[in-house]
Structure 1
């Protein structure tokens, strides 16, 4: 009995590490996280964009959305002014534009 336990201990020590690494990478891949090599280096996926490219795209989208928000704020300020100004003054300004 003790000889079989003595054999299982080194066998378990050898197999636990690689099994845990494989399971860890399987979970990471399944949930979209980057996969690591045995040395701990990240492996890039073929279909993924590089981090720099993703950052550039996000910056461009952020600039576009910032411009839209600025235009909407300007329009809202005009609408607030129209809503709070006296009706007579607004009608005079509209007539002046015609």
Structure 2
């Protein structure tokens, strides 16, 4: 016969390690915002509450503001690139035209 008594501690250690690994990965998924899996593999999402909805609204507004600011920075960069790459005489003419308009 095969002696199962010798392998019982090994089986117990492997089982404990498997459960600890499952708990650790579940905790890491929750901590980092990944969806959890249900018993049949379907995603289990946390319930929406007022705080979560408000946070999403604030993040969406901040995202829109940052996109607008990025657009303004791109416009400024395009102007700087145009100034740097244009010939000096063209830039001088434009500056003189602007000076003439302000006087």
**TM bracket, shorter-chain basis:** 0.3 to 0.5
Structure-2-length-normalised TM-score? 0.46
